[in-house]
Structure 1
Amino acid sequence: MSINVQGIQQKIQPVVNKLSNNRYLKAMMGGMMAGMPATIIGSLATLLKSLPIAPYQSFITSHGIDKYLQLPVILTTNILALIFVVCITYTLAESFDVKGIGPAIIALVSFLVLTPLQTAKTAYGTDATLIPMDWLGSTGVFTALIVAFVVGRLYVAIVQRGWTIKMPESVPPFIKDSFASLVPGTIITTIFIVISAVFANTPFGSVHAFIYGILQLPLQHLGGSFGTLVFVAILSQVLWAFGIHGSMVVLSVMMPIWGAMDAAQLSAYSAGKPLPNIVGMMFFTIYTFGGTALGLAIVMLKAKSERFKTLGRLSIVPAIFGITEPIIFGTPLVLNPIFVIPFVFGNVISLVLAYVSTIIGIIPPPNGIGAPSGTPIVLQGLIAGGWRNAIFQVVLVILWVVLWYPFFKIADKKALEEETVVVQQ
């Protein structure tokens, strides 16, 4: 059995390594994580604005505080595409050893060049040019990804060919960097102006509408489906079972799709509109908390073997905060046939129950609020959905305990026998 497992691992490891080390996927993941503080700020503002406490709501509404709490949402979640295009371009260029903020600034300008403008009359009767926010938030995320990749790669190619203005060494670095970006910026911006003009004369009207209609919307329909949810959950845990960081591999692909869906959730929730999605990054996160290993940590507290009893005591507190690596590698769960069933299918069972419960109205869909990493279970559910989601997490923990228990008893009995043999010797 171990030979077969190792053989399978050797076959899939190179493919997974190639995927997880892909420069563009890493830049996308790194860029989105770099933009996480802004999304958390927007989430916290939404939480403060939407607390379902009648006296509190009456107070912030009567004093106009709700309008100011909406500002962080508008200027974070509703301009998520702008944040991503800057962060991802910077991360991608840096991976090619091209330092500086120049590529990110050019990507921001290029993204805005693709964005159709509007005109309106001001209070003084003059014309004002406006940038509508229609494409700056969740609907523009895929355009932001494409612009970041194209601009980042073009900028690097131009710099590597030496098509830059070189200044004497005596010139301060910030001036040298500004002039170094001038030629790449002019070339890239010109290209995007041409692209914008071409799409403006098509039935789509803009690159944003084209990418959203042809790419983003179909991918969100596919990524938000029940089948995709189950497939992602199984694939992630199967990779983990073979010693490969399945979450990193799978979520690097799903992050732009589910991230955009969460942003749409948060925008709708903040505006008091119906939530458009069920599945998203937060749905996956709150109902697969720590890969269900918290249930195993709880079971270990009643272990008969000293090995597992000690591991349970050491890992229970981190597991409550979603840190389950001590359990995963300390048990171990990877390459361990005893635990393969609960390890692989625990997430799937949890997600299926959560999906069905959401469909029939037992629990509401997650509101898109991104609870910070390390938020303990129950509090995470409370933030991301409400009290019913938090209670549902408690139900899931009980389910996880029941699921892990019979398989743990086998492992615990084996460990106890090994300890007894050692003592007798």
Structure 2
Amino acid sequence: MENKKTFFDSLQNILGHLSMKVNGNIYINAIKDGMLAYMPFTFIASIFLIISFFPVPQVGEFITMITGVEQAVWQAKLNLVSDSSLGIGGLLVLVSVSRSLAEKMNINVIQVLMTAIVSYMLLTPFTSEESGNVIEVASLGAQSIFIALVISVLVAKIYQFIDSKGLKIKMPAAVPPAVSAPFESIIPSLFVVTFFWIIRLLLDGIFAASALELFNNTLGAPLKMMGGSLFGIIIVKIFSQLLWFFGIHGDSIVGGVMSPIFQVLQDENRAASVAGSIPSNIINQSFWDSFANIGIIGSIISIIIIAKSKRYKEMKKIAGVPYLFNVGEPTLFGIPLMMNVTYFIPFILSNVASILISYGAFALGLVPIPTGLAQVPWTTPLVISGYLVTGSIAGAILQIVCIAAVTLLWLPFVKVADSQLIKEEGTLRDDLSEAAEE
């Protein structure tokens, strides 16, 4: 008898092929690697920004009292870390992505990296002053992440193409590689730099605008609109959860595409907060990390509340504590949630519920929009992260509301699964008793 494919079999097949293509794409992987390399500096900068703009005014007054320095002065000193890390976010991403691409393409890493920096600087707007050309640090910040990614890919591709054609200065075999490699890179790098120099001249002559302005207005704006919209983030999250349901690391797949968008939105909020303005981007990296990912925790809380089966009672012991730090693997694999049709609906929709509740709270002004000052690690416990990223106790309360909502969504499904397990365990006990009697 021929087995018919179910809907879930077909969906798993489609998502599996898509995941293989994405995971095999060196450009998406390089962007993902580059953004991961950039992340530690966002956290480091956040530590100093949290201290500098601590949401409790008395803390600032206390620092002023013990240091004897005016608040504006010591804040400026603390902000140096942010200016030196987030302030050159685009440049940092360019370096990390270029390095990753060069390694994956098996071309000269150092030379590609330096060529990418030169090309990036060629497209960076200059301001003419009496002392010479000046580059505003803001031009190197997170707002230039989009164009940095494009430059990284173009530099690597052009360099690889010229190098593969053998257009390079070949040194005698006796010359050490450390000496010959820079000479061999001269022609490929010359082609790349000339290419970007011509682009710079064309932009200055035709559009009278910098590459950064042109790119962000034509491509960056639609990307931010898509990634920063309620509809966009819901679609992305559903897709991520679908991948997880079939055992594919969903966040890893979507992170390579969405992280640059979320980081740009996050940095815009940071700049507004530092300037004393109110942040405007509801959706950003902090929203994704601290509010959009509240969902599966409802399953383990539901198990803790109502489960009576032996299996789920054991799950309470091993899955509850890790989830305090947002480590969900024990829950995913222990229940299991993946490939478990009983849990398909809450698995896909619980995060959507959290997104809708959170977005509504921010849009209505019930909770301050994430400031962009704090980008906490994903292991930061809920409630704490809500307070830090919004700078308000309302952010922590919002997370509690989301946890309660997703738990209510999971409860009936956990009850059904738990009842089934109790029956199975009862049947197993009866079978074992009969076997023992025989």
TM-score computed with the length of structure 1 as normaliser = 0.93
Who is 1:140 aligned against?
144
**C-alpha distance after superposition, 1:42-79 (max 9, x if no partner):** 22221111102334324446162211111111111121
Who is 2:275 aligned against?
271
Who is 2:395 aligned against?
389
Who is 2:93 aligned against?
84
Deviation at 1:279, TM superposition (A): 0.8
How do residues 4-43 of structure 1 correspond to structure 2 at under 5 angstroms? Answer: 4-43=7-46
Who is 2:428 aligned against?
422
- The one of 43, 49, 52 equivalent to 2:52 is 49
Q: CA RMSD in A?
A: 2.0
Q: 1:357 to 1:130 in 2, by over 3 A?
A: same
How do residues 174-189 of structure 1 correspond to structure 2 at under 5 angstroms? Answer: 174-189=178-193
Who is 1:62 aligned against?
70
Q: 1:42 to 1:271 in 2, by over 3 A?
A: farther
With 2-11 and 358-367 compared, the bigger mean Cα shift is at 2-11
How do residues 245-264 of structure 1 correspond to structure 2 at under 5 angstroms? Answer: 245-264=249-268
- The one of 395, 403, 409 equivalent to 1:403 is 409
Q: 1:2 to 1:307 in 2, by over 3 A?
A: farther
Supply the AA of the counterpart residue of 1:414. Answer: Q
Q: 1:391 to 1:180 in 2, by over 3 A?
A: farther
Who is 2:297 aligned against?
294
How far apart are the structure 2 equivalents of 1:388 and 1:108?
43
Assess if the C-alpha contact under 8 Å between 2:102 and 2:108 holds in 1: yes
Assess if the C-alpha contact under 8 Å between 1:78 and 1:267 holds in 2: no
Who is 1:332 aligned against?
336
Who is 2:158 aligned against?
154
With 2-11 and 185-194 compared, the bigger mean Cα shift is at 2-11
Who is 1:220 aligned against?
224
How far apart are the structure 2 equivalents of 1:229 and 1:143?
22
Who is 1:282 aligned against?
286
Assess if the C-alpha contact under 8 Å between 1:338 and 1:411 holds in 2: yes
SS of residue matched to 2:281? coil
SS of residue matched to 2:128? strand
Q: 1:128 to 1:27 in 2, by over 3 A?
A: same
How far apart are the structure 2 equivalents of 1:8 and 1:129?
56
With 192-201 and 37-46 compared, the bigger mean Cα shift is at 37-46
Who is 1:358 aligned against?
362
Assess if the C-alpha contact under 8 Å between 2:367 and 2:395 holds in 1: yes
- The one of 371, 379, 382 equivalent to 1:367 is 371
SS of residue matched to 1:243? coil
Assess if the C-alpha contact under 8 Å between 2:122 and 2:200 holds in 1: yes
How far apart are the structure 2 equivalents of 1:203 and 1:158?
29
SS of residue matched to 2:207? coil
Q: 1:190 to 1:423 in 2, by over 3 A?
A: same
SS of residue matched to 1:129? strand
Assess if the C-alpha contact under 8 Å between 2:265 and 2:281 holds in 1: yes
**C-alpha distance after superposition, 1:385-410 (max 9, x if no partner):** 12211121122222222221111011
Q: Which runs of 5+ in 1 are unaligned?
A: 122-126
Who is 1:322 aligned against?
326
TM-score computed with the length of structure 2 as normaliser = 0.90
Assess if the C-alpha contact under 8 Å between 1:20 and 1:248 holds in 2: no
SS of residue matched to 1:202? helix
Assess if the C-alpha contact under 8 Å between 2:353 and 2:406 holds in 1: no
**C-alpha distance after superposition, 1:84-103 (max 9, x if no partner):** 11111111111112253221
- The one of 217, 238, 244 equivalent to 1:234 is 238
**C-alpha distance after superposition, 1:363-417 (max 9, x if no partner):** 1111222112311212211221122111211222222222211110111111121
Deviation at 1:233, TM superposition (A): 2.1
Assess if the C-alpha contact under 8 Å between 1:100 and 1:177 holds in 2: no
- The one of 202, 207, 216 equivalent to 1:203 is 207
**C-alpha distance after superposition, 1:147-201 (max 9, x if no partner):** 0110111222233333333445665554344333332222211111111011011
Assess if the C-alpha contact under 8 Å between 2:289 and 2:378 holds in 1: no
Deviation at 1:262, TM superposition (A): 1.0
Who is 2:434 aligned against?
none
Q: 1:205 to 1:285 in 2, by over 3 A?
A: same
SS of residue matched to 1:25? helix
**C-alpha distance after superposition, 1:306-335 (max 9, x if no partner):** 111112210111111111122112212122
Deviation at 1:12, TM superposition (A): 3.3
Q: Which runs of 5+ in 2 are unaligned?
A: 432-438
How far apart are the structure 1 equivalents of 2:321 and 2:172?
57
Q: 1:115 to 1:403 in 2, by over 3 A?
A: same
How do residues 91-130 of structure 1 correspond to structure 2 at under 5 angstroms? Answer: 91-121=100-130, 127-130=131-134
How far apart are the structure 2 equivalents of 1:314 and 1:174?
53
Assess if the C-alpha contact under 8 Å between 2:280 and 2:369 holds in 1: no
Structure showing greater radius of gyration is 2
SS of residue matched to 1:57? helix
Assess if the C-alpha contact under 8 Å between 1:204 and 1:210 holds in 2: no
How far apart are the structure 1 equivalents of 2:349 and 2:124?
44
Assess if the C-alpha contact under 8 Å between 1:233 and 1:347 holds in 2: yes
